[in-house]
């Protein structure tokens, strides 16, 4: 039924995309209008293709950087379509190929400018949450991280604006060697590249927020054999701090829910090594907590050597494979940590679903910012590829502008 619906929607989209240019260009069409309409149609097709790809990818897994990139691409293309439609239907008598080119070249600045308002508003909320966090948990750099990054981001955006304006309006190419077509094209391409990279970061941030929320609200199926509980700090006496207690309690609740729904028991793999200031491993502390909540010795298999999330998952996977090859696995962590943990689980070879433990509202912004940069660090190759593609596109646009006498 779903496949039939998708095919029907795709067919309707195809019909609309064929009819729209005819309606817009018939009778009074001209070259600029035809070019602009064709561009809008291509962008609509791109959005449709990315939307179908996103739907298919999310059915496969929520824990993929591809989903984040597709959401960012859909967002950017959708806003560009709106911008071009405004140009198409306003002042039709003044529409020229040059005005279309200028709208496209200036669009990244407009996009990042509008996004800046959203980011400033979010930064204010982040600032409030950081103040509450510092008041309740004490001051340290990690507790003020999201506020510091927000300030640097806004400052960086202003620097990019100033740099692009300076390169575009203040740097004039002298006659002679620098008047060659390549340098004139780069005069447009370089500021455009800076702004597009800023837009790329903003779109990835939006995609990460959407997928992070979606992953945190996932409802795993009740067919699991083991649940890995990802560790974090314990107190000086070996007790669980609220963040870790939330993860363990969520794992216990999921085990109860599964047994009530299907009668299938769930085994725990609490995972975490011993930190420099900890009297025991996090895995041992969680094991003791689970047993005080009714877990039996043969239901808990702690992992006590890992030092980070990647090792949590890899070492726990090894334990599970020794106990039951091919077991169905879930993992429990804090809500803001779900997406990155899921991505790491897939890279570790675990086909696992996550269950999210809640945390206090003032922890979430700071935690999400750290997770966002963690996700960025996991996908350096994708960023390099995107930067290279953007650089090529900017160079092509610069050349079109020069050889088409549009700049």
Residue 237 DSSP class: T
Q: Which residue has the tokens 């293709």?
A: 49
Q: pLDDT tens digit string along 81-127?
A: 999 988 888 766 677 888 888 888 889 988 887 887 777 777 777 76
Q: Compute the average pLDDT of residues 237-249.
A: 91
At residue 27 the predicted structure's pLDDT band, cuts being 50, 70 and 90, is very low
Within 13 Å of residue 221, how many CA atoms lie on the same side as its CB?
7
The pLDDT, as a whole number, for residue 178 is 43
Give percent of the chain above pLDDT 90.
Answer: 45
C-alpha separations of 289 from 248, 292, 316 in Å: 8, 5, 18
Check pLDDT > 80 for residue 244: yes
The pLDDT, as a whole number, for residue 55 is 92
Q: Compute the average pLDDT of residues 301-326.
A: 95
Q: Compute the average pLDDT of residues 215-223.
A: 91
Ranges for all domains in the chain classified under CATH 3.40.50.620: 226-361
Check pLDDT > 90 for residue 191: no
**CATH annotation of 226-361:** 3.40.50.620
The pLDDT, as a whole number, for residue 98 is 83
Check pLDDT > 90 for residue 308: yes
The pLDDT, as a whole number, for residue 304 is 94
The pLDDT, as a whole number, for residue 25 is 45
The pLDDT, as a whole number, for residue 63 is 94
The pLDDT, as a whole number, for residue 76 is 94
Check pLDDT > 70 for residue 366: yes
The tokens for 66 are 């591809």
Q: Compute the average pLDDT of residues 348-372.
A: 84
The pTM score is 0.82
DSSP letter string over 327-372?
A: --EEEEEEGGGHHHHHHHHHHTT--EEEEEEP--TTTHHHHHHHHH
């Amino acid at each position: 039924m779903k496949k039939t619906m998708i095919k029907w929607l795709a067919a309707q989209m195809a019909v609309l995309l064929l009819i729209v240019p005819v309606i817009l260009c018939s009778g009074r069409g001209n070259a600029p209008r035809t070019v602009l309409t064709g561009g809008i149609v291509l962008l609509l097709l791109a959005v449709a293709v990315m939307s179908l790809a996103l739907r298919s990818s999310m059915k496969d897994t929520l824990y993929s950087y591809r989903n984040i990139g597709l959401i960012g691409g859909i967002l950017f293309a959708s806003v560009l379509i709106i911008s071009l439609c405004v140009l198409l239907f306003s002042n039709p008598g003044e529409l020229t190929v040059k005005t279309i080119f200028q709208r496209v070249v200036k669009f990244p600045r407009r996009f990042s400018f509008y996004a800046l308002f959203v980011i400033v508003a979010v930064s204010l909320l982040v600032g409030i949450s950081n103040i509450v966090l510092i008041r309740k948990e004490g001051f340290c750099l990690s507790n003020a991280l999201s506020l510091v990054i927000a300030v640097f981001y806004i400052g960086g955006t202003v620097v990019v604006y100033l740099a692009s304006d300076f390169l575009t309006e203040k740097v004039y190419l002298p006659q002679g060697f620098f008047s060659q077509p390549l340098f004139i094209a780069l005069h447009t391409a370089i500021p455009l590249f800076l702004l597009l990279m800023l837009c790329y970061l903003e779109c990835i941030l939006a995609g990460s927020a959407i997928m992070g929320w979606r992953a945190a609200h996932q409802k795993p199926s009740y067919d699991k054999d083991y649940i890995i509980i990802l560790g974090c700090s314990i107190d000086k006496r070996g007790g669980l701090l609220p963040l870790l207690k939330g993860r363990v309690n969520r794992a216990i609740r999921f085990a109860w829910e599964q047994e009530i729904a299907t009668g299938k028991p769930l085994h725990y793999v609490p995972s975490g090594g011993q930190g420099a200031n900890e009297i025991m491993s996090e895995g041992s502390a969680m094991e003791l907590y689970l047993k005080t909540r009714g877990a039996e010795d043969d239901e808990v298999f702690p992992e006590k050597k890992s030092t980070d999330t990647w090792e949590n998952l890899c070492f726990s996977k090894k334990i599970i494979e020794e106990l039951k090859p091919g077991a169905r696995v879930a993992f429990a962590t804090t809500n803001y940590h779900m997406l990155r943990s899921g991505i790491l689980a897939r890279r570790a070879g675990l086909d696992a679903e996550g269950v999210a433990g809640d945390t206090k509202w003032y922890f979430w912004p700071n935690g999400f910012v750290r997770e966002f940069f963690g996700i960025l660090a996991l996908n350096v190759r994708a960023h390099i590829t995107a930067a290279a593609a953007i650089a090529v596109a900017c160079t092509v646009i610069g050349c079109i502008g020069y050889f088409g006498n549009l700049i």
